[in-house]
Structure 1
Amino acid sequence: MASVRELLVRKHGDLVTVTGGTTVLDASTLMVGRGIGGVLVVEDGVLVGIFTERDVLRRVVAVQRDPATTAVREVMTSPVLTVAPETPLEDCRVLMSERRIRHLPVTADGALVGVVSSGDVLAYEVSERQATIQQLESYVYYVRS
Protein backbone atom coordinates (compact mmCIF):
# COMPACT_ATOMS: atom_id res chain seq x y z
CA MET A 1 0.00 0.00 0.00
CA ALA A 2 1.33 3.45 -0.95
CA SER A 3 2.37 5.90 1.74
CA VAL A 4 2.46 9.67 2.07
CA ARG A 5 6.23 9.54 1.47
CA GLU A 6 5.70 8.08 -2.03
CA LEU A 7 3.19 10.76 -2.87
CA LEU A 8 5.50 13.55 -1.66
CA VAL A 9 8.36 12.20 -3.78
CA ARG A 10 6.15 12.41 -6.88
CA LYS A 11 4.61 15.73 -5.93
CA HIS A 12 7.78 17.85 -5.86
CA GLY A 13 5.76 20.78 -4.56
CA ASP A 14 7.24 23.52 -2.47
CA LEU A 15 5.80 24.17 0.95
CA VAL A 16 3.80 27.40 1.07
CA THR A 17 3.71 28.97 4.54
CA VAL A 18 2.75 32.26 6.15
CA THR A 19 3.08 33.62 9.66
CA GLY A 20 0.14 34.27 11.93
CA GLY A 21 0.57 38.01 11.46
CA THR A 22 0.03 37.82 7.71
CA THR A 23 -3.22 39.50 6.71
CA VAL A 24 -6.05 37.44 5.29
CA LEU A 25 -5.82 39.56 2.14
CA ASP A 26 -2.12 38.80 1.65
CA ALA A 27 -2.55 35.09 2.39
CA SER A 28 -5.51 34.88 0.01
CA THR A 29 -3.57 36.69 -2.71
CA LEU A 30 -0.71 34.21 -2.24
CA MET A 31 -3.11 31.27 -2.46
CA VAL A 32 -4.70 32.60 -5.65
CA GLY A 33 -1.29 33.30 -7.19
CA ARG A 34 -0.07 29.78 -6.44
CA GLY A 35 -3.36 28.12 -7.37
CA ILE A 36 -3.68 26.43 -3.97
CA GLY A 37 -6.53 26.09 -1.50
CA GLY A 38 -4.60 26.62 1.72
CA VAL A 39 -1.37 27.71 3.37
CA LEU A 40 0.33 26.41 6.47
CA VAL A 41 0.79 28.86 9.33
CA VAL A 42 4.22 28.64 10.92
CA GLU A 43 5.62 30.60 13.88
CA ASP A 44 9.29 30.24 14.83
CA GLY A 45 9.57 27.11 12.70
CA VAL A 46 6.57 25.42 14.36
CA LEU A 47 3.30 24.57 12.62
CA VAL A 48 0.56 26.43 14.50
CA GLY A 49 -2.35 26.27 12.08
CA ILE A 50 -3.66 26.07 8.56
CA PHE A 51 -5.51 28.76 6.65
CA THR A 52 -7.80 27.60 3.83
CA GLU A 53 -10.44 28.88 1.44
CA ARG A 54 -13.03 27.52 3.84
CA ASP A 55 -11.61 29.71 6.63
CA VAL A 56 -11.91 32.76 4.36
CA LEU A 57 -15.56 32.03 3.65
CA ARG A 58 -16.68 31.04 7.14
CA ARG A 59 -14.55 33.22 9.39
CA VAL A 60 -13.99 36.31 7.27
CA VAL A 61 -16.54 36.85 4.50
CA ALA A 62 -19.59 35.40 6.27
CA VAL A 63 -19.00 37.55 9.37
CA GLN A 64 -17.94 40.63 7.39
CA ARG A 65 -14.38 40.93 8.70
CA ASP A 66 -11.99 43.16 6.79
CA PRO A 67 -9.44 40.88 5.08
CA ALA A 68 -6.94 43.74 4.86
CA THR A 69 -6.80 44.14 8.65
CA THR A 70 -7.59 40.64 9.91
CA ALA A 71 -4.55 38.53 10.81
CA VAL A 72 -4.47 34.91 9.73
CA ARG A 73 -3.91 33.81 13.37
CA GLU A 74 -7.39 35.18 14.21
CA VAL A 75 -9.18 32.98 11.67
CA MET A 76 -6.93 29.97 10.96
CA THR A 77 -7.83 26.41 11.83
CA SER A 78 -5.89 25.27 14.88
CA PRO A 79 -4.85 22.79 16.14
CA VAL A 80 -4.00 21.03 12.91
CA LEU A 81 -4.34 17.33 12.26
CA THR A 82 -1.05 16.02 10.82
CA VAL A 83 0.22 12.75 9.40
CA ALA A 84 3.63 11.11 9.21
CA PRO A 85 5.43 10.21 5.96
CA GLU A 86 4.79 6.52 6.73
CA THR A 87 1.01 7.00 6.87
CA PRO A 88 -0.78 4.89 4.23
CA LEU A 89 -2.68 6.94 1.64
CA GLU A 90 -5.80 4.94 2.44
CA ASP A 91 -5.63 6.29 6.01
CA CYS A 92 -5.28 9.83 4.66
CA ARG A 93 -8.31 9.38 2.44
CA VAL A 94 -10.36 8.09 5.39
CA LEU A 95 -9.23 10.95 7.65
CA MET A 96 -10.04 13.55 5.01
CA SER A 97 -13.44 12.05 4.38
CA GLU A 98 -14.42 11.58 8.02
CA ARG A 99 -13.15 14.98 9.17
CA ARG A 100 -14.25 16.78 5.98
CA ILE A 101 -10.83 18.31 5.43
CA ARG A 102 -8.84 18.74 2.24
CA HIS A 103 -5.29 19.30 3.50
CA LEU A 104 -3.06 17.23 5.77
CA PRO A 105 0.32 18.65 6.81
CA VAL A 106 3.05 16.03 6.98
CA THR A 107 5.50 16.08 9.90
CA ALA A 108 8.52 13.95 10.72
CA ASP A 109 10.27 14.20 14.10
CA GLY A 110 8.32 17.38 14.81
CA ALA A 111 9.43 19.08 11.59
CA LEU A 112 7.10 20.10 8.78
CA VAL A 113 8.05 18.19 5.62
CA GLY A 114 5.09 18.64 3.29
CA VAL A 115 1.37 18.82 2.82
CA VAL A 116 -0.99 16.39 1.11
CA SER A 117 -4.29 17.48 -0.36
CA SER A 118 -7.30 15.38 -1.24
CA GLY A 119 -6.56 16.20 -4.89
CA ASP A 120 -3.01 14.86 -4.47
CA VAL A 121 -4.33 11.58 -3.05
CA LEU A 122 -6.89 11.22 -5.82
CA ALA A 123 -4.35 12.00 -8.58
CA TYR A 124 -1.89 9.48 -7.12
CA GLU A 125 -4.51 6.75 -6.92
CA VAL A 126 -5.73 7.43 -10.47
CA SER A 127 -2.14 7.26 -11.75
CA GLU A 128 -1.55 3.97 -9.96
CA ARG A 129 -4.76 2.47 -11.35
CA GLN A 130 -3.88 3.59 -14.87
CA ALA A 131 -0.49 1.87 -14.54
CA THR A 132 -2.23 -1.32 -13.37
CA ILE A 133 -4.64 -1.18 -16.30
CA GLN A 134 -1.75 -0.77 -18.76
CA GLN A 135 0.06 -3.74 -17.23
CA LEU A 136 -3.05 -5.90 -17.45
CA GLU A 137 -3.67 -4.86 -21.05
CA SER A 138 -0.06 -5.72 -21.93
CA TYR A 139 -0.47 -9.11 -20.26
CA VAL A 140 -3.70 -9.85 -22.11
CA TYR A 141 -2.10 -8.82 -25.40
CA TYR A 142 0.90 -11.08 -24.65
CA VAL A 143 -1.31 -14.05 -23.75
CA ARG A 144 -3.40 -13.65 -26.94
CA SER A 145 -0.32 -13.46 -29.17
Structure 2
Amino acid sequence: MKTVAEVLKAKDQKNQDVHTIQWDHTVFEALVRMSEKNVGALPVVKEGVVVGIISERDYARKIMLKGLSSVTTKVHEVMSSPVITVDTHKKVDECMNIMTDGHLRHLPVVENGKLLGLLSIGDLVKEAIASQADLIKQLEQYIRGE
Protein backbone atom coordinates (compact mmCIF):
# COMPACT_ATOMS: atom_id res chain seq x y z
CA MET A 1 0.00 0.00 0.00
CA LYS A 2 1.07 3.54 -0.70
CA THR A 3 1.98 6.10 1.91
CA VAL A 4 0.16 9.32 2.70
CA ALA A 5 2.99 11.20 0.95
CA GLU A 6 2.28 9.33 -2.29
CA VAL A 7 -1.47 9.98 -2.07
CA LEU A 8 -0.88 13.69 -1.41
CA LYS A 9 1.52 13.87 -4.35
CA ALA A 10 -1.18 12.44 -6.64
CA LYS A 11 -3.72 14.93 -5.25
CA ASP A 12 -1.27 17.82 -5.78
CA GLN A 13 -1.09 16.90 -9.47
CA LYS A 14 -4.80 17.70 -9.61
CA ASN A 15 -4.07 21.21 -8.22
CA GLN A 16 -5.81 20.69 -4.91
CA ASP A 17 -4.79 23.27 -2.33
CA VAL A 18 -5.27 22.82 1.40
CA HIS A 19 -8.20 24.97 2.44
CA THR A 20 -8.52 26.01 6.08
CA ILE A 21 -10.61 28.25 8.29
CA GLN A 22 -9.48 30.39 11.22
CA TRP A 23 -10.80 29.27 14.61
CA ASP A 24 -12.50 32.63 15.30
CA HIS A 25 -14.46 32.81 12.03
CA THR A 26 -18.18 32.06 11.97
CA VAL A 27 -19.63 28.73 11.01
CA PHE A 28 -21.39 30.52 8.15
CA GLU A 29 -18.00 31.61 6.77
CA ALA A 30 -16.80 28.01 7.05
CA LEU A 31 -19.87 26.77 5.15
CA VAL A 32 -19.33 29.33 2.41
CA ARG A 33 -15.69 28.28 2.05
CA MET A 34 -16.63 24.58 1.97
CA SER A 35 -19.19 25.29 -0.74
CA GLU A 36 -16.82 27.44 -2.80
CA LYS A 37 -14.03 24.88 -2.60
CA ASN A 38 -16.34 21.86 -2.96
CA VAL A 39 -15.03 20.17 0.20
CA GLY A 40 -16.85 18.57 3.11
CA ALA A 41 -14.51 19.67 5.90
CA LEU A 42 -11.91 22.27 6.77
CA PRO A 43 -9.01 22.06 9.17
CA VAL A 44 -9.37 24.79 11.79
CA VAL A 45 -6.22 26.80 12.47
CA LYS A 46 -5.21 29.18 15.23
CA GLU A 47 -1.92 31.02 14.86
CA GLY A 48 -0.86 28.60 12.13
CA VAL A 49 -1.53 25.45 14.16
CA VAL A 50 -4.28 22.93 13.41
CA VAL A 51 -6.54 22.97 16.47
CA GLY A 52 -9.59 21.19 15.10
CA ILE A 53 -11.69 20.33 12.10
CA ILE A 54 -15.15 21.46 11.09
CA SER A 55 -17.34 19.46 8.75
CA GLU A 56 -20.76 19.54 7.20
CA ARG A 57 -21.69 16.89 9.76
CA ASP A 58 -20.66 19.24 12.60
CA TYR A 59 -22.94 21.88 11.11
CA ALA A 60 -25.87 19.49 10.83
CA ARG A 61 -25.50 18.06 14.33
CA LYS A 62 -24.25 21.02 16.33
CA ILE A 63 -25.96 23.97 14.63
CA MET A 64 -29.04 22.89 12.68
CA LEU A 65 -30.37 20.27 15.10
CA LYS A 66 -29.83 22.59 18.07
CA GLY A 67 -31.46 25.58 16.41
CA LEU A 68 -28.31 27.73 16.56
CA SER A 69 -27.29 30.38 14.06
CA SER A 70 -24.34 29.73 11.79
CA VAL A 71 -23.98 33.48 11.36
CA THR A 72 -23.24 34.14 15.04
CA THR A 73 -21.68 30.85 16.15
CA LYS A 74 -17.88 30.70 15.97
CA VAL A 75 -16.07 27.76 14.43
CA HIS A 76 -14.21 26.96 17.67
CA GLU A 77 -17.54 26.49 19.45
CA VAL A 78 -18.55 23.52 17.29
CA MET A 79 -15.36 22.16 15.71
CA SER A 80 -14.22 18.62 16.45
CA SER A 81 -11.23 18.82 18.75
CA PRO A 82 -8.70 17.53 19.55
CA VAL A 83 -8.13 16.66 15.92
CA ILE A 84 -6.53 13.38 14.92
CA THR A 85 -3.77 13.92 12.38
CA VAL A 86 -1.38 11.68 10.46
CA ASP A 87 2.08 12.22 9.04
CA THR A 88 3.29 11.48 5.52
CA HIS A 89 4.84 8.14 6.47
CA LYS A 90 1.55 6.44 7.39
CA LYS A 91 0.27 3.78 5.02
CA VAL A 92 -3.15 4.08 3.40
CA ASP A 93 -4.48 1.02 5.24
CA GLU A 94 -3.36 2.45 8.58
CA CYS A 95 -5.23 5.69 7.79
CA MET A 96 -8.33 3.72 6.83
CA ASN A 97 -8.17 1.92 10.19
CA ILE A 98 -7.84 5.23 12.05
CA MET A 99 -10.80 6.65 10.17
CA THR A 100 -12.94 3.56 10.67
CA ASP A 101 -12.14 3.23 14.37
CA GLY A 102 -12.68 6.95 15.01
CA HIS A 103 -15.73 7.31 12.74
CA LEU A 104 -13.85 10.00 10.78
CA ARG A 105 -14.25 11.11 7.20
CA HIS A 106 -11.24 13.44 7.04
CA LEU A 107 -7.66 13.31 8.32
CA PRO A 108 -5.38 16.34 8.28
CA VAL A 109 -1.82 15.51 7.29
CA VAL A 110 0.70 17.33 9.48
CA GLU A 111 4.48 17.10 9.34
CA ASN A 112 6.67 19.01 11.80
CA GLY A 113 3.71 21.15 12.83
CA LYS A 114 2.89 22.18 9.23
CA LEU A 115 -0.42 21.27 7.58
CA LEU A 116 0.36 19.56 4.27
CA GLY A 117 -3.03 18.32 3.19
CA LEU A 118 -6.36 16.79 4.06
CA LEU A 119 -7.24 13.20 3.23
CA SER A 120 -10.83 12.15 2.79
CA ILE A 121 -12.18 8.64 3.08
CA GLY A 122 -12.86 8.89 -0.66
CA ASP A 123 -9.17 9.54 -1.36
CA LEU A 124 -8.22 6.43 0.58
CA VAL A 125 -10.92 4.21 -0.93
CA LYS A 126 -9.79 5.21 -4.45
CA GLU A 127 -6.23 4.32 -3.54
CA ALA A 128 -7.25 0.98 -2.00
CA ILE A 129 -9.26 0.07 -5.11
CA ALA A 130 -6.33 0.98 -7.40
CA SER A 131 -3.96 -1.06 -5.24
CA GLN A 132 -6.26 -4.09 -5.34
CA ALA A 133 -6.66 -3.77 -9.12
CA ASP A 134 -2.86 -3.79 -9.50
CA LEU A 135 -2.60 -6.87 -7.30
CA ILE A 136 -5.28 -8.69 -9.29
CA LYS A 137 -3.48 -7.84 -12.54
CA GLN A 138 -0.19 -9.18 -11.15
CA LEU A 139 -1.85 -12.38 -9.96
CA GLU A 140 -3.52 -12.91 -13.34
CA GLN A 141 -0.16 -12.45 -15.08
CA TYR A 142 1.45 -14.91 -12.67
CA ILE A 143 -1.26 -17.50 -13.29
CA ARG A 144 -0.86 -17.10 -17.06
CA GLY A 145 2.91 -17.51 -16.65
CA GLU A 146 3.79 -14.06 -17.95
- The correspondence for 2:105, drawn from 102, 116, 120, is 102
For 2:7 and 2:138, locate their aligned partners in 1 and report how far apart those are by CA, in whole Å. Answer: 21
- The correspondence for 1:68, drawn from 46, 71, 82, is 71
The structure with the larger Rg is 1
Displacement of 1:142: 7.4
Equivalent residue, structure 1, for 2:3: 3
Displacement of 1:137: 5.2
The Cα RMSD (Å) is 1.7
Stretches of 4+ aligned residues off by more than 6 angstroms: 139-142
For 2:31 and 2:137, locate their aligned partners in 1 and report how far apart those are by CA, in whole Å. Answer: 40
Deviations for 1:85-125, whole angstroms, at most 9, x for unmatched residues? 00111111111101100111111112111111111000111
Aligned identity (percent) is 36
Aligned residues: 143
SS in 2 for 1:81: coil
SS in 2 for 1:36: coil
TM-score by length of 2: 0.89
Equivalent residue, structure 2, for 1:32: 35
Which amino acid is 2:115 matched to? L
Displacement of 1:51: 0.3
Gaps in structure 2 of 5+ consecutive residues: none
